[in-house]
Structure 1
Amino acid sequence: MDYMDRGLRYTPTTGKDWENSVQFLPASDNKKLEKKKGPGKVGAVIGVVVLAAVIALMTGLLVWHFHFRKNVRVKRMYSGSMRITNQVFEDAYENSNSSEFQELARQVTTQLKTIYSKSPQLSKYYVDSTVQAFSEGSVIVYYLSEFSIPAGQEAAVDNAMSSMNKLSRTLPRPGDSLVIQDVVSSVLDSRMLSTSFSRYLRHSVHTKPNYIDQIQSPGFPNSPYPPNTFIQWQLRAEPGYIIKLYFDTMNLEKNCKNDFIRIYDSLVAIESRVMEELCGYFSPSEPLTFVSSGNVMLVTMATNDQKNYPGFRAQVSQIKRGSRETTCGGLLTGERGLLSSPSFPNFYPPSMSCQWSIEVPAGKVVKLTFLKFLLSEPGQENSRDCRKDYVEVDGKKLCGEKPDGTMTETSSTNKMSVKFFSDTSYVDRGFNAVFEAIDMADPCPNQFQCKSQSCIKSELRCDGWDDCGDLSDEQNCQCKPESIKCNNGMCKPKFWKCDGVDDCGDGTDEIGCGGCKSGELTCKNNKCVSEKKHCDGIDDCGDGSDELNCARNTEIQCNELTYRCKNNKCISKVNPECDGTDDCGDGSDEQDCNCGRSMFTRSRIVGGQDAEVGEFPWQVSLHVKSFGHVCGASIISPTWLVTAAHCVQDDGRTRFSEPGTWEVYLGLHIQRKIDSHVVKRNLKRVIPHPNYNHYTYDNDIALMELDSPVTYSEYIRPVCLPAPQHDFPSSSTVWITGWGATREGGSAATVLQKAQVRIINHSVCNDLMSGQITSRMLCAGVLTGGVDACQGDSGGPLSSPSGNRMFLAGVVSWGDGCARRNKPGIYTTVTQFRGWIKEKTGV
């Protein structure tokens, strides 16, 4: 019985009492009020028939409920493993067709039946068992058991199965019986029993030392994986070795409910041994490398009937047990040192337990700072008791996901104990940490000590940013003149004023903003009207803004705020472009929507500023020939780029306005590293905006035409161009990217950098920048403190997320390119130039 070949089977009036004392008024015609005669014989017969039908129906329902429903059975499969301690593994046990395999499998199924017979909950529902595989460890057997359970009794059987290990120990021990230990069992994931599967494939791979095997989805890389298919790969290593699995490509449908890969620290799909579930598209810069705890591993893949993708390819090798990737712990001494979970930054193995003893010179104490800390499991993201994987520092358990460098532990003596534990299911990337010897009397020399015991630069105190991660550096502050003084004693950057977000926490930064009273709607022209007038069909604001974003996407009078369809119909919906809904009726709002999407699954690594490979595939690097990177740009079509006009202004030495001056690199991630997916192009034309003002940077936008079209790939894609009416409101978060300097006066970044920023209120920014902000500029400030955000690059994109797409909100123009803390960045507003772009490029 192969469980993959067996799909699920299914066995297929209130009354009202009237008051008794009803008073009748006298009438002139008493005959009209005489009581009518009864319904007659025909009516009586009909009444009896209806009553009998109702009684029969009720009786039938009751009989079904109490008799037949209890016979509705649910097929339930349990997968498990057990260790046979009085047997020695033979090579023939790898072959399920060998007589040795079949004989031992027969003994196992007989013993399983005996074990189930000891439980009343299990014996009466048990159907059959099959042995799926054997592996070393005396002999470990992997099995599946089928039960036919009355509907509603599933939980009771689950509980009984959880006692399998206890049941096995109560068996008598005849001389020829199998001696069993370490019984593990759990209900099989129902997705693996889907009745929709039309193909079942099984592969076995036995790796050898110093050799790399390869597994991949069917058809990879030339065709998509097949639909409605279940595949499993049983991976084995030699005794004394463990499995290493490295995915160099992972491209599945994003929804794991449809297509998914599951990896098990086992040879059968035991839920308590699942290491990870994968779907979506992962960047090659985010390695997917897994290590088993023993010499076996199972990879499963399931697909449905829709949206099949290229699939995956992975390398399978083996590592000798006891090597550096499989061990951790030990004695660490000295003034400073490093420690990390096994295999870091790859996923650590399951079933690990390590202990470090750290000792620094006498008179000092140990300070441990976690540079990365990623120990999170599904369903345990906010767990405080750390019942799954954890790090324990001097008896204090730590788990979850923490921002880089914000978690610090300090000992009370010159010694510290650090333990790492991972259970049998779900692994993560783990941690790396640095320990150092510090003077307890002065733990942060010339720095500020946070409540978390971490140290930050003294100048970061009371600057409006939560550098400590616990706000301790922003409490009891004397605010600087360039900051907002909140009523609660905190300080906040002035460019957060009047953006509709309560940054202070007490509303101080949103006071005196000229907003409307409660119950009133603020129009785009700052007029106040009653909220009741929203979507009433009347232009109460005078600019039509009170008739936007109505519940029903109605056709309204066209104005500068409304979206105009190709059929010249204007609709009330704000930003309808490429949202998956045909709002116009002619599909024009959903045209040209092959844009603004990153193919790769977003990294969950916290606090990093390096972008992932392919995360911003519209980012372009503009090089001056024989010099290198100078400016950024954005792809808007196979032949056109958008950049800043000031990037193409001639100076005394270089003709930046000439196409021949430039080389264009598309798909680039690391400067001077030209991978196979990087495309180099020359330019055919450079078109700066005719009204660009090099004194004020007004109209700072330019277009570049490539000398030949580029083919899109997962690394090269266009960003979506917004409609002229597209709204990028204050306080919305956007992304800035580039290879600019990462610190003041520093050299340019090698790896593409990213920073999340927030759009700043236009009038507030204009005040901060002494009236230099025109209607064709927008401002943005960095969202998070505590990190040096990239300065970005002139001409690069300001990318605004909308649904699952990114729109080009702005072009990096002047100020501090990536809007570093307390210094807003100024960007060219793309919506103001949408007509000009269309005129010149046709895009």
Structure 2
Amino acid sequence: MDPMDGGMRYTPGRSDKDWDQGVTFLPASDNKKLEKKRGPARVRVIVGLVILAAVLALIVGVLVWHFHFRKDLNLQKIYTGSLRITNQAFVNEYENPDSAEFQDLAKQVSSQLKLMYSESPLLTKYYVGSRVQAFSEGSVIAYYESDFTVPVGQAAAVDQAVSDLTNTYSSTKSRRIANQGVLIFDHVVTSVLDTRLFSNARTNTRFSQHTRGTAEEIIKSPGFPDSPYPPNSVVQWQLRGDQGFALKLSFDTFNLEQNCANDFVRVYDSLVPMDKFLLAEKCGYYSPSDPLTFISTRNVMLVTLVTNDNGNYPGFRARVSQIKRDELPCGGTLTGSSGNFQSPNFPNYYSPNTTCQWNIEVPAGKFIKLKFPKFMVSTESCADYVQIAGKSKLCGQLATNYMVTGNSSKMTVVFYSDSSYVDRGFSATYEAYEPTDPCPEMYQCENKRCVKPTMRCDGWNDCGDSSDEKKCQCDSSMIQCKNSFCKPMFFLCDGVNDCGDGTDEINCGCKTGEFKCSNDQCISEKMKCDGNRDCTDGSDEEGCSREMSCTVSTFTCNNNKCITKNNPQCDGQDDCGDGSDESNCNCGKKAFKSSRVVGGEDAVVGEFPWQVSLHIKNMAHVCGASIISERWLVTAAHCVQDDKIKYSQPSTWEAYLGLHTQKDKQTATKRFLKQIIPHPSYNPYTYDNDIALMELDSAVTYSDTIRPICLPSGTDVYNSSDSVIITGWGATREGGSGAIVLQKARVRIINGTTCDKLMSGQITSRMMCAGVLTGGVDACQGDSGGPLAYLSSERMYLAGVVSWGDGCARKNKPGIYTNVPKFRGWIKEKTGV
């Protein structure tokens, strides 16, 4: 429909003359009657003026649309690229954009790019121009930007045309354009430039640095470390090394906003930002003890910092050095009954464009068993991979000690990475085994893993592929599932479908005096409509006749509104209406950006900045605690019960905040205590209400390694199988000594009914259970009082406090934790937090 069809019409065929002619046909018997018609004549003049104004308005509107709005229908598209000039030799002057040599060669490159784009009628139509940004060795590589102004509807077609043209030049070994004496080039690579890197709202700054010999160059974000990095900026560092070397970039400090949509750093294996050579995009915080380190394929690299309008973080500092590529072991021949190998630069990021092959050979008559203790290879469509014996490719993140077995005494392992998106790589071990007995005195799983024979049909997936639990005949102490699985009897009627086919939940009912929740959980009838969510699904509080008043199990807003929603605080939604549920949210942000917690391993500096180490004065670590504000800590009540030592007295203790290694207490912040408040209902015999508060003698200043963990609301509920993290310096095994370095482990919440059965009825509603029921991962002595942390909406919450357990990491014996949501009201009453 024409835009004009919607309004009043103007008919060009009619004129003022037509109007006059019409008047002469009016009957008039005398002049006076005719004079009475002068009124309509004035109307005609007015109508004519209106029509003229409408025409002028229409013309102006069309012109405005043409020169203003039509302009908005065009896109600026910039393509960055590189090409190799084969009939030129690199000279040092090409490093200086102001030199005559640089400008002369840049002019030639721009001219030939124009010729190249002219081969496509579509690109010729929208091409604006090209700019050469840099040159590097080999023979000479030119890095450039090409501008196009493209109608919105043609954007995809132009992308395809650029891609097709680039492929044509890339696939031709050497392509020469007709004129004599012009450049000969090949290896043309082009990428569309991310619009965030050329936004008019951002200022652009560029630095160039050349690392020579064994020296190290330093690059850092503007203002580091004395002031925040600049907002609304694009800052680029063009890094070079000597010919024949590769560059190594190591970030000593890296601290940006957590959200990469706001601020980010990109590292390229190039001198212009091409996505085909993008090694990584990073934001957030990375610990100096586990730094980001990247290695280029040749002697150039580009680092780009992009910021939004809030530049409130210190930024980064990095060292740039150069290395010989052959300094990084890559492939080779491995012999003997056992050995190990790893990807180049492991555990730091491997290089792009890398191919390594290991040829493994064990004694004749033996077969090879390969294990990967760590495996982190980029998952971009398996573009980077490990291939074993020419079979399927492995990529992504594999389980710890992932195993592959061969069927001969020889095996080849190939590692390949393409030109973009690198990761930390892998470590591997190999060993020989007898072909007739791949698992001596063990059970072999379908995935070739070996487990103890006693783990067969014990109700737990020990193999990882459940093959140890298939086709089982269960004894009377086990549940016989219809699908041939066996499950421990304590799973019977616990409200969870443990069999997978519902066998363990058939014909179940609650006892007299119990209320059956919607999820089949059984609770005391007295808990129905008591204002507390005792059913994990909250069904005990549904349909209650009275209005629920604000209780410790609800969130009370500043406007006295009660919120019964699960986890309303800091979830990004203003549930209160006055924003009070979204205030005080500067908590629970993990300092470490991309932690991969697998269980029972060293934490990284700053990874859990709320962790506190409690010491008896001038003595060793005794208990853990968690920071909840500048002055207050949460710990376990059993840690502050008097024995031979007056643990209940503040003067007995010193707290170390920001501590990572027990041997380096001088690097932490030490505080003494002002008061200790154990819960008044703590039961030293049952460990019920096992929680205490500690007030520091002076407030602490938050930093990268000292931050509070978020407190949950009284309505928070943690469901069975939810993943949680435990941390501490406790014993690494039952009866063992304490850890030197802060340890972390991932465990899962365990159904309360199941846990109560496992722990012989000792679990109260103020306790929660978490662990790995197959054993091997747990808190232990010395971890008491420390945090059980739950991740929600990118924040960590203090779900529990390490309390007690039956030994450490025993099978079917989970760890028991104080259920912090049950004490949320008490914590606020005592601390105001």
- The count of residues paired between Structure 1 and Structure 2 equals 761
Q: Does 1:642 align with 2:634?
A: yes
Cα 1:607–1:831 change in 2 (3 A) is closer
1:419-438 aligned at under 5 Å gives the runs 419-438=414-433
Cα 1:330–1:801 change in 2 (3 A) is closer
Match of 1:532 in 2: none
1:85-100 aligned at under 5 Å gives the runs 85-100=86-101
Match of 1:24 in 2: none
Q: How many Å apart are 1:97 and its aligned residue?
A: 0.6
SS of 1:153's partner is helix
The question of whether the paired residues in 2 share the 8 Å contact of 1:394 and 1:417 is answered with yes
Q: How many Å apart are 1:662 and its aligned residue?
A: 2.6
Question: Normalised by the size of structure 1, how large is the TM-score?
Answer: 0.82
Q: For residues 735-781 of structure 1, what are the alpha-carbon distances to aligned partners after superposition, in whole Å with 9 as ceiling and x for unaligned?
A: 322222233333322332233333334344333322322343x2313
The question of whether the paired residues in 1 share the 8 Å contact of 2:632 and 2:831 is answered with yes
Cα 1:767–1:355 change in 2 (3 A) is closer
Match of 2:785 in 1: 795
Q: Does 1:269 align with 2:269?
A: no
The question of whether the paired residues in 2 share the 8 Å contact of 1:495 and 1:768 is answered with yes
Match of 1:781 in 2: 770
Structure 2 CA distance, aligned partners of 1:344 and 1:726?
A: 41
Aligned counterpart in structure 1 of residue 542 of structure 2, from 522, 545, 553: 545
Q: How many Å apart are 1:817 and its aligned residue?
A: 7.6
SS of 2:133's partner is strand
Structure 2 residue runs of 5 or longer lacking an equivalent are 6-46, 529-537
Structure 1 residue runs of 5 or longer lacking an equivalent are 1-12, 14-45, 530-540, 549-553
Which 10-residue stretch deviates more, 575-584 or 356-365? 575-584
Residue identity in the other structure for 2:275: E
Q: How many Å apart are 1:819 and its aligned residue?
A: 6.3
Question: Normalised by the size of structure 2, how large is the TM-score?
Answer: 0.83
SS of 1:616's partner is coil
Match of 2:607 in 1: 615
1:264-663 aligned at under 5 Å gives the runs 264-306=268-310, 308-323=312-327, 325=328, 327-377=329-379, 380=380, 383=381, 386=382, 388-478=383-473, 485-492=480-487, 501-511=496-506, 512=508, 514=510, 544-546=541-543, 557-558=549-550, 561-604=553-596, 609-652=601-644, 654-663=645-654
Aligned counterpart in structure 2 of residue 186 of structure 1, from 151, 175, 191: 191
The question of whether the paired residues in 2 share the 8 Å contact of 1:370 and 1:431 is answered with yes
Q: For residues 549-574 of structure 1, what are the alpha-carbon distances to aligned partners after superposition, in whole Å with 9 as ceiling and x for unaligned?
A: xxxxx995446654334544433433
Cα 1:207–1:510 change in 2 (3 A) is farther
The question of whether the paired residues in 2 share the 8 Å contact of 1:173 and 1:179 is answered with no
Match of 1:19 in 2: none
Match of 1:29 in 2: none
Cα 1:717–1:526 change in 2 (3 A) is farther
Match of 1:665 in 2: 656
Q: How many Å apart are 1:349 and its aligned residue?
A: 0.6
Match of 2:9 in 1: none
SS of 2:122's partner is helix
SS of 2:662's partner is coil
Residue identity in the other structure for 2:469: E
Cα 1:590–1:669 change in 2 (3 A) is same
Q: For residues 67-93 of structure 1, what are the alpha-carbon distances to aligned partners after superposition, in whole Å with 9 as ceiling and x for unaligned?
A: x98995432211111111221110000
Q: For residues 443-468 of structure 1, what are the alpha-carbon distances to aligned partners after superposition, in whole Å with 9 as ceiling and x for unaligned?
A: 12222322222323444444444333
The question of whether the paired residues in 2 share the 8 Å contact of 1:495 and 1:760 is answered with no
Which 10-residue stretch deviates more, 357-366 or 759-768? 759-768
SS of 2:756's partner is helix
Q: For residues 103-147 of structure 1, what are the alpha-carbon distances to aligned partners after superposition, in whole Å with 9 as ceiling and x for unaligned?
A: 111221222222222333333332211111000111111111122
Which 10-residue stretch deviates more, 149-158 or 353-362? 149-158
Q: For residues 175-202 of structure 1, what are the alpha-carbon distances to aligned partners after superposition, in whole Å with 9 as ceiling and x for unaligned?
A: 52222121111221222122321x1100
Q: How many Å apart are 1:500 and its aligned residue?
A: 5.3
Q: How much is the aligned-residue C-alpha RMSD, in angstroms?
A: 3.7
Q: How many Å apart are 1:611 and its aligned residue?
A: 3.0
SS of 1:309's partner is coil
The question of whether the paired residues in 2 share the 8 Å contact of 1:261 and 1:278 is answered with yes
Structure 1 CA distance, aligned partners of 2:415 and 2:488?
A: 40
The question of whether the paired residues in 2 share the 8 Å contact of 1:742 and 1:788 is answered with no
The question of whether the paired residues in 1 share the 8 Å contact of 2:555 and 2:562 is answered with yes
Structure 1 CA distance, aligned partners of 2:358 and 2:430?
A: 11
Structure 2 CA distance, aligned partners of 1:633 and 1:73?
A: 59
Q: Does 1:195 align with 2:185?
A: no
Aligned counterpart in structure 1 of residue 243 of structure 2, from 239, 242, 258: 239
Cα 1:644–1:498 change in 2 (3 A) is farther
Q: How many Å apart are 1:673 and its aligned residue?
A: 2.6
Q: For residues 33-56 of structure 1, what are the alpha-carbon distances to aligned partners after superposition, in whole Å with 9 as ceiling and x for unaligned?
A: xxxxxxxxxxxxx9xx9xxx9xx9
Match of 1:710 in 2: 700
Structure 1 CA distance, aligned partners of 2:598 and 2:681?
A: 42
1:118-157 aligned at under 5 Å gives the runs 118-157=119-158
The question of whether the paired residues in 1 share the 8 Å contact of 2:614 and 2:621 is answered with yes
The question of whether the paired residues in 2 share the 8 Å contact of 1:350 and 1:423 is answered with yes
Structure 2 CA distance, aligned partners of 1:391 and 1:831?
A: 46
SS of 1:349's partner is coil
Q: How many Å apart are 1:296 and its aligned residue?
A: 0.2
Which 10-residue stretch deviates more, 441-450 or 507-516? 507-516
Match of 1:229 in 2: 233
Cα 1:174–1:471 change in 2 (3 A) is same
Q: How many Å apart are 1:235 and its aligned residue?
A: 0.3
Cα 1:471–1:286 change in 2 (3 A) is farther
The question of whether the paired residues in 1 share the 8 Å contact of 2:457 and 2:474 is answered with yes
SS of 2:113's partner is helix
The question of whether the paired residues in 2 share the 8 Å contact of 1:224 and 1:309 is answered with yes
Q: For residues 180-225 of structure 1, what are the alpha-carbon distances to aligned partners after superposition, in whole Å with 9 as ceiling and x for unaligned?
A: 121111221222122321x110000101222121111111122221
Which 10-residue stretch deviates more, 433-442 or 745-754? 745-754
What's the % identity of the aligned pairs? 59
Q: How many Å apart are 1:577 and its aligned residue?
A: 3.0
Residue identity in the other structure for 1:668: L
Which 10-residue stretch deviates more, 737-746 or 513-522? 513-522
The question of whether the paired residues in 2 share the 8 Å contact of 1:80 and 1:143 is answered with yes
Structure 2 CA distance, aligned partners of 1:798 and 1:405?
A: 23
SS of 1:674's partner is helix
